[in-house]
């Protein structure tokens, strides 16, 4: 009995209190009342594709709408082949055929929230990996009508995470605020990076554990993530994302 009381206390301190603080902060932000009032226009985060001949792959994310934005971002994938005059955008949504191509401008705001770049690959490496990214998108198993689950998944972040796992050469991971990124089908799921440098255990996306060079040490509970990154020193706080313990040039402390 004492063990369960301590376990509940730990969950409250590690997950519930930070999530509640994030929700309180988000509740007082100036946000659109509905998707109809939101700004979905291009944000200018990405450079003009026509003036840059290099191939590129971007992983983008932005806080999502409503009170969901207190805890989660929406993520998507953008590609550009060498010499192409425009970008190709892929994301998963919760209506119709869920996996969409170019449904929005490549760097569009999401529910009025400006996106940020999670990862970027350019040049010859991007040109080499774009076919692999497209192949991973093509075989995504939850791409039919009705194949969307807001929580614990499979949602937009589950889709992007599938591509990142399928193309490990991208060397990228979604931020801890990407609720649904750790969803795997089945009651108990175990997977690892090709070189076994990272492992992941998931209980239906409701709870899990991850450890490794890229992920650090993570505890996952009801889609929330808490942990510590040792390679790039940072704390991972539910609702708030990464709190950088050391902030290299060009990276802001506390980024999600």
251: in domain: no
Express each pLDDT in 53-101 by its tens digit. 999 999 999 999 999 999 999 999 999 999 999 999 999 999 999 999 9
Has residue 62 been placed in a domain?
A: yes
Residue 21 belongs to a domain: yes
**Assigned domain for 253 exists:** no
Residue 254 forms part of a structural domain: no
Q: Which residues, including other chains, have CB under 8 Å from residue 83's CB and lie 6 or more apart?
A: 53
Q: How many domains does the chain fold into?
A: 1
256 lies in some domain: no
Query: Is 128 part of any domain?
Result: yes
Kindly report, residue by residue over 73-83, the tens digit of the pLDDT. 999 999 999 99
pLDDT, tens only, 5-41: 888 998 999 999 999 999 999 999 998 988 899 999 9
Task: Count Cβ atoms below 10 Å from residue 76 Cβ, excluding itself.
Answer: 28
80 within some domain: yes
Residue 43's domain comprises 2-244
């Amino acid at each position: 009995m004492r063990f369960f009381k301590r376990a509940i206390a730990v969950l409250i301190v590690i997950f519930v209190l930070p999530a509640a603080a994030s929700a309180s902060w988000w509740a007082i932000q100036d946000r659109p009342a509905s998707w109809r009032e939101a700004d979905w226009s291009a944000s200018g985060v990405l450079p003009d594709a026509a003036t840059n001949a290099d191939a590129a792959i971007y992983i983008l994310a932005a806080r999502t709408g409503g009170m969901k934005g207190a805890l989660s971002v929406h993520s998507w994938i953008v590609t550009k082949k060498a010499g192409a005059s425009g970008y190709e955008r892929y994301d998963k949504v919760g209506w119709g055929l869920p996996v969409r191509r170019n449904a929005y401008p490549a760097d569009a705001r999401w529910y009025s929230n400006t996106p940020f770049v999670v990862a970027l690959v350019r040049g010859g490496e991007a040109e080499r990996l774009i076919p692999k990214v497209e192949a991973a998108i093509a075989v995504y198993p939850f791409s039919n009508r009705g194949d969307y689950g807001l929580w614990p998944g499979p949602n937009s972040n589950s889709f992007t995470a599938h591509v990142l796992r399928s193309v490990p050469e991208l060397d990228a991971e979604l931020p801890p605020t990407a609720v649904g990124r750790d969803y795997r089908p089945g009651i108990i799921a175990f997977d690892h990076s090709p070189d076994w440098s990272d492992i992941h255990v998931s209980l239906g996306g409701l709870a899990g554990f991850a450890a490794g060079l890229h992920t650090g040490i993570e505890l996952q509970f009801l889609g929330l993530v808490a942990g510590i990154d040792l390679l790039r020193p940072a704390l991972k706080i539910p609702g708030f994302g990464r709190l950088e313990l050391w902030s290299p040039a060009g990276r802001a402390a506390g980024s999600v």
